Structure 1
């Protein structure tokens, strides 16, 4: 019973605790970015801008205020447009960016004066600040000419912000942007208004001058086009006249020439007919003589052919017998060489067997010494019998493995030597076959044709025999390379096995060395095989090229002739360019003896650029010498009575008055001088600036951007 009551009390306590915690959590209100929480009630007015705070119902009341950035657009257009300093009206739309200042005092002020919900209402903000912002725009507009509104937009914006200020009863002005700026149409200007009347006069004056200039340009264009059309028609008519005269003159000359040629042709025809008759008689006589000579020559030729055939048959029989004798001789020599090579190989094999027996004998002697050592160890070290027996077994196993590896190595060497011998025998046999084919081809060719035809066939048979010799040699090289590769691989494997077995007792790390040796042997075999194949392909290509040597030689001679012609032409061009460069260098050296010139370019560009620079410098000097106005401008700009030129004094005034580089970029020369005159305090500076302004207007540089002269 007591435990049940205790559990009930604990449950009630837990419910109360969790309920209290839940209530406390529900009373905590968070503040989001761009918002502020204004709490009233117990404890007075409190502004919460970060994290959050507790708001207890009944005791407190909380309202959220939007403190994010808002925009207000103020428009002054038409009859309400801004009046500029030059009395021109401008249509303008400016966007102001304002927000509630994120400070507790300012938020509290806005909450008390405007209310939390209405603090960021765009319509309310417009009604609150429209009059103040419009008045600021009117004030600023009167400080600038209409053109300056375009060229000094940033300055105008900054002055608007300076006039309005940043503190607006809890609000703050972040920035403003000129969204639209245009001249007010003349229809909206009141001619009875003094300021508008002045603006209308300026607009009409400027537009009328521009229209006059445009009309002059257009009329000049039409006049030049019409003049060019008339000149074109005159030129076409003159050319047509010349064409007709040329055609008539050509017709007259053709008729005269045709009549003269017809007369000459008739005379020639008659003369040729007479010559033809005489030639015909001579031809008939000559034909009869040639017919008689032909019959006599045929009879003589038949006798010569019979004699030649008898001699050729006898010669062919003799050469066939000689060829058969040479063939038998080559076969016998090949058999003898092969048997001799086999005997040498057998003798080498016997030597190898003797060496193996000697090695086995040394192994047996080594085993006997090991047994003696074991017996001596058993007598001396009775306590270490088990260790000695283990060492004995290990040594016996190692020696057996070494013996087997050495035997495998010797067998690999023998097999490689045998393969080399067989490859050499195959190569010798291939050479003998090629020689026999060559002999048979020569004999067959001599049997089938006359001496001239036989000569061509013999050349072809020789080429074929050379090709077969090359193929046989390539096969031998390939076979030898393959045998060498196999032998190297087997030898490498045997050596690797021996090294691996030896190194087991010494160190495991030497296994990598045996693998490297094996890979080296395989790589060497592949290289030899590739070399043999390439050599075979080269020999075969040379044999094929021999069949077409006449055409290739002809093409080679043509190519050499063309190459020599191109070489001679290139040398002539090079010598001509060299002479031209020397002449240019002589002229340029005389012109720039004492000049400091940086040369950029190549070949003729250097000469052309320097000549152009010299010509331009002479033209500028002549211009200043011949023009009094230019001389006056130069003296006014660069010379001054106190030894300091005008540009230097203007830069001094700029530093004195603190005029920024951005202002200089946006002002003309006249505008900059006028601005400095307003900022000057003493009469001497104002008088000098007036004189400089008159000089600039007289020389025609008043409308040039000031930045281009001062940089």
Structure 2
């Protein structure tokens, strides 16, 4: 039995070990993979799983799922069709390894299991073959056949490639994208592309013509139908309007008749209803008035009863209060009488000593007060004199500085005026020299026998140059006058400003001196009041000390008398002691009260003096006039400075705009302040408008093409067109007049000239002189 058990156990252990070894050595693969096991003598392929022994076997896994190969041809590398039209095409080929042992082994041996599992490997192996097959089949079909015969294209490509690809299998092909290559990407130097461009152009031109013809026919038919329908609708509307007007007239007549009758009946009924309403309101009003009267009488009776009862209660309460107060006052008066009788006896003794001490203290405090007041008065006079001297000195300095600034500004204005006159003379001489030179050229040309047309041209040019020189001279003269006027105005403004500032400073110094004088007086008054208050406080403190000493003496005396007269009894001694202490405390409280009252009185007097001084300064006519003048001058100064600051900021902004936009331009500045900036901006806007009009108008480009590309001369053409017009007419000729003259002459370009005139009117250039467009300025 034991041997049998050992055998069974051994068998079980062996089976378990065998199962474990099998599970560890057995290798499974997915459905899209193949397991290739290289053994000692042969190669096994399994699509499910197999036992792989270590060392003896080598296992490799190959991906046999379907993969895509994308072939894309576009642009210059597009697919050439039979009609030599290029097509941008993208086609996808679906390839996989056949799920057969020989094909798997073949792919593993030729490509390798690792490379065969990557998409890049398939792209590398089959891209050239598939691309060549696509080009071969595409060349056999026209471009339109690629759309209509896609299935045939796919079939031919698969047939040409074949389904067996050295172990790989071509499952299917799909055209993902197909479109004609744009003409911009074709090479005109390529023969095939050139033929394709020609064919595309021919086909599109024909289709465009057919499309345009169909659109025009559609428009004509729609217009004809609209006209017929509109005529019929207008006729029907006319008939309908006649019928409606007739019917409306009858309805209005009947309605007016019925409304008149209805209004009469309504007014009668309203009269009756209004009479009944008024009678009802009258009766209701009488009843409301009676009710209100009864309510008011009852309320008055109730208020009278309540008032009588309240008065009786208040009277009883007041009588009780008065009785209590009378008893209290009587008790208090009797007690105060007893106290006052005792106080009078002591006060009579103290009053005589206090009178003597007070006289001495008052004399001492008078001397101290006089010394403090005199010292404060001297300080006040010193401050007032120093402030007045400083104000006068500052006023003289400011006036002299203003006069010097005014003289300097006058000299600068004279200098600017002299320079302007010199520039005016120079410009006048230059203009005359140019005029003489032009006349000499004209005479020389006439002597040489030029044609009459050329002589008229030269005369026109000379006149234009003379007018331009005169305009430049006038501009220089006006510029010089403007600069001189501006310099003179600036000098006057600077002098007035300096003078106003000097007057303001003088007024301010006077006001400050007055203010310092009043402050000094207020400070002196305040010092005087404080000195008096300090003297009173010192007197109060002396009186308090003296009273304390007397109280202590009285207390000592009482104690001595009590000690000396012990026989009179302890009660009498204690009474004398209490009386002395009470008298001392009363005297001390009285002295403190008097001192506090005197201090408050003096402080009130000092505050009153300060307020009085401020009121006097406020009511002083001279001070108030100076202060008002100073405030007005300050306000005017701030307003002018703010205006100058605003002009400076505007000028800086304009200068920044001009410096940025015209930093390389050579410009003569004519005009002051914002005139030049406004003219320059207007000129730039006009130029930009003309440029935009020429660039965006095909008609203008067609008309001005010879002038823009340099093949023609605008001045020569204008001279030929305006040969019979005088010089003044040329200067005053506008764009609209020129175009109307050309339109009136007729010709094949009349329609284009009319469009050009309309466009010039939209841009606001119809009334612009030709001299302004030529850059010679505004006409005179």
Normalised by the length of structure 1, the TM-score is 0.32
| More contact order relative to length (CA 8 Å, sep ≥ 6) | 2
CA radius of gyration, larger in: 2
> What is the TM-score when the length of structure 2 is the normalising length?
0.30
